[in-house]
Amino acid sequence: MTLRPGSLAFLIIAIAALGTQGLCYAQAPTKQVYVYIDSVMAADTNEGTDPRLSPMDKKLRGLFGFSTYSLIGHIEGETSCGKMIAFALPGGKILHVQPRAIDNDMIAMEIVLFDGTRPMMTTDLKLKNNGTLIVGGPRYETGMMIISIGASTSGAQPGGTHSAMQAQVAGTPGESAAH
Amino acid sequence: MAECGEISVMLGAFEDSELEPNEMQEVAFHLARCESCTGILADYSTLGRNLRSISVEPKLAGFSSAVIARVERLPQPAHIRIARFFRRQMDSLGAGLAWGGAVAAAAVLTIILMTPYAEQFARKGAGSGTSVADATHEAVPAPNQIASSSGNEPTMADNDSQAVISRLESPNRSVAVWSEPRRDTTVIWLPDQP
Q: Among positive and negative, which fits the CA dihedral A89, A95, A98, A102?
A: negative
Task: Quickly state the pLDDT bin for A38 (edges 50, 70, 90).
Answer: very high
Q: Beta strand pairing status for A93-103 and A106-115?
A: antiparallel
Considering only CA atoms, give the Rg of chain B: 45
CB contact under 8 A, A123 and B188: yes
Shortest CA distance from B160: residue in chain A:
A128
**Nearest CA distance, A142 vs chain B (angstrom):** 13
Number of CB atoms found within 10 A of residue B69's CB: 10
Task: Report the predicted TM-score, pTM, of the whole model to 2 decimal places.
Answer: 0.49
In a domain, A4, yes or no: no
pLDDT tens sequence for chain B (194 residues): 678 888 989 998 898 888 998 889 899 999 988 999 999 999 988 988 888 888 887 788 888 999 999 988 888 888 888 898 889 888 888 888 888 999 999 988 888 777 666 665 665 554 433 333 333 333 333 444 443 333 333 333 333 457 888 888 888 877 888 877 776 778 888 887 66
- What is the pLDDT, as a whole number, of residue B163? 84
With respect to residue A155, please indicate whether it lies within any of the assigned structural domains: yes
The backbone torsions φ and ψ at residue B181, rounded to the nearest 5 degrees and listed phi first, read -60, -35
Query: Can you tell me whether residue A158 is helix, strand or coil?
Result: coil
Cβ–Cβ contact B116 with A under 8 A: yes
Contact at CB, B189 and A137, closer than 8 angstroms? yes
Residues of A in contact with B130 (CB under 8 A): none
Cβ atoms of residues A135 and A125 within 8 Å: no
Report which of residues A13 and B66 the model is more confident about. Answer: B66
Q: Do residue B172 and residue A120 have CB atoms under 8 angstroms apart?
A: yes
Lowest-confidence pick of A4-8, A99-103, B73-77, B163-167:
A4-8
**Residue A80 CB partners (closer than 8 Å, separation 6+):** A30, A31, A32, A33, A99
The reported pLDDT for the residue numbered A21 is 46
**pLDDT given at position B175:** 82
With CB atoms and an 8 Å threshold, state whether A16 touches B190: no
- For residue A63, which of B118, B173, B37, B161 has the smallest C-alpha distance? B161
Largest interatomic CA distance in chain A: 77
* CB-closest option in B162, B166, B190 to A137: B190
- For residue B93, what pLDDT is reported? 87
A120-142, pLDDT tens digit by residue?
A: 899 999 998 888 899 988 888 88
Chain A interface includes B144 (CB < 8 A): yes
Containing domain of residue A84, as a range? 29-176
- The answer for residues whose C-beta is within 8 angstroms of residue A40's C-beta and 6 or more apart is A50, A53, A56, A60, A69, A70, A71, A72, A145, A146, A147, A148
**A121: phi then psi, degrees, rounded to nearest 5:** -160, 140
Query: Per the domain annotation, does A3 fall within a domain?
Result: no
Judge whether residue A165 has pLDDT over 50: no
- Residue A16 covered by a domain: no
Q: Which of A11, A62, A113 sits opposite B183 (nearest CB)?
A: A62
Q: Which residues of B touch A144 (CB under 8 A)?
A: 145, 191
**For A27-32, what is the mean pLDDT?**
62
pLDDT of res. B52: 84
Q: What is the pLDDT of residue A89?
A: 92
Where are the domains positioned within chain B? 4-54, 63-113, 127-189
Spatial separation of the C-alpha atoms in residues B42 and B36, rounded to whole Å: 10
Cβ distance B190 to A135 less than 8 Å, yes or no, reads yes
Test mutation, B120, B124, B145, chain A, max A CBs within 10 A: B145
Closest partner CB to B185 (pick from A26, A120, A132)? A132
Would A14 be classed as within a structural domain?
no
Q: Is the Cβ–Cβ distance between A79 and A62 less than 8 Å?
A: no
Burial of B16 (0-12, 13-18, 19+ CB in 10 A): exposed
The C-alpha atoms of residue A105 and residue A108 are separated, in whole angstroms, by 10
- The sign of the CA dihedral A101, A105, A110, A112 is positive
Query: How many domains is chain A built from?
Result: 1
Look at residue A9 and tell me if it is in a domain.
no
Q: Which residues contact A86 (CB under 8 A, 6 or more apart)?
A: A94, A95, A96, A97, A174, A175, A176, A177
CB-based contact, B85 to chain A, within 8 Å: no
Sort A11 into a burial class: Cβ within 10 Å, 0-12 / 13-18 / 19+. middle
> CA-to-CA distance for A87 and A95, rounded, in angstroms?
5
**CB atoms < 10 A from the CB of B102, how many?**
18
Does the CB of B105 have a partner CB in chain A at under 8 Å? yes
B25 has a chain A CB within 8 A of its CB = no
